[in-house]
Amino acid sequence: MMERELEGHIALVTGGSRGIGRAIAQTLAEGGARVAVVARNAEGAERAAAELPGDGHAGYACDVADGDTVNEVVARIADELGAVSILVNNAGVTRDNLLLRMKEDDWSTVMDVNLKGAFHTVKAVAKGMMKRREGAIINVTSVVGLMGNAGQANYAASKAGLVGFTKSVARELASRGIRCNAVAPGYIRTDMTADLGDSQTEALQSGIPLQRLGEPEDISAVVRFLAGPGARYITGQVLAVDGGMVM
């Protein structure tokens, strides 16, 4: 990996206060980018930004499901840090249940955050990227969006939707010098998966050829690559980072 290959870039990472997003913010900062950490909880976002290596990072409270707030926050980021050239749509939630027990609210919340949130952020940054004819967008989807999962119809649909969104945005914006790719993590150790018991973890591990759950840094290394110059000829791709679960 090149050192500080992201110098001069401003990266916006949604859900950057914890888990995978936090590791992504850290890795992009190590690459030289100034990072805008976005999360619903202001304190969490600000604390995560303050702990990043280097100067010029900042945290912002923002619910990505709310388009007006996203527009306001992206404008503040442009004023305070600079125009966003790397966007990582990582914010995501689960509201798991079997289909027949799933409430409409659980469906809508997951769609609004995981899928519509990415629509809002891409719309908010795309105009500036098009004008400057540069930009890298990375959407964090999931292996569940590729293979489905009982008890996660809403989540799987939102993540499969992100795949179609990624490819459409890639086709639409390629001529303006903007790349759009997705990373599909397998099971990664974060708050989102903290409730898995030992027996569930063992069962999961037996289906992973590399025989371990992933760590947030397994994902952030790939996001850094996709954001940087080494990936300059890659767009519209979905890269599974899952220890071989889906192949």
> Could you give the residue numbers annotated as active site?
155
Closest CA to 93 of 107, 77, 72: 107
- For residue 140, count other CB atoms closer than 10 A to its CB: 26
Q: Pick from 33, 49, 58, 64: which binds ligand NDP (CB under 6 A)?
A: 64
Q: Does 104 bind ligand NDP (CB under 6 A)?
A: no
User: Residue 203: helix, strand or coil by DSSP?
Assistant: helix
Angle, CA 8 vertex, CA 33 and CA 228 arms, to 5°: 60
- Comparison of 130 and 192: residue with beta carbon closer to ligand NDP: 192
Q: Pick from 28, 113, 115, 129: which binds ligand NDP (CB under 6 A)?
A: 113
Please, which residues bridge with residue 35 across strands? 11
- Comparison of 67 and 177: residue with beta carbon closer to ligand NDP: 67
Q: Does 191 bind ligand NDP (CB under 6 A)?
A: yes
162, 118 Cβ separation under 8 angstroms = yes
Query: Binders of ligand NDP among 137-156, rule CB under 6 A?
Result: 140, 142
Residue with tokens 């400057």, as numbered in its chain? 132
* One-letter amino acid of 178: I
Q: Pick from 6, 10, 11, 19: which binds ligand NDP (CB under 6 A)?
A: 19
Give the separation between CA 230 and CA 3, rounded to whole angstroms.
Answer: 12
Q: Pick from 39, 125, 178, 241: which binds ligand NDP (CB under 6 A)?
A: 39
Would you tell me which residues interact with ligand NDP (CB under 6 A)? 14-15, 17-21, 38-41, 44, 62-65, 90-93, 113, 140, 142, 185, 187-188, 190-193
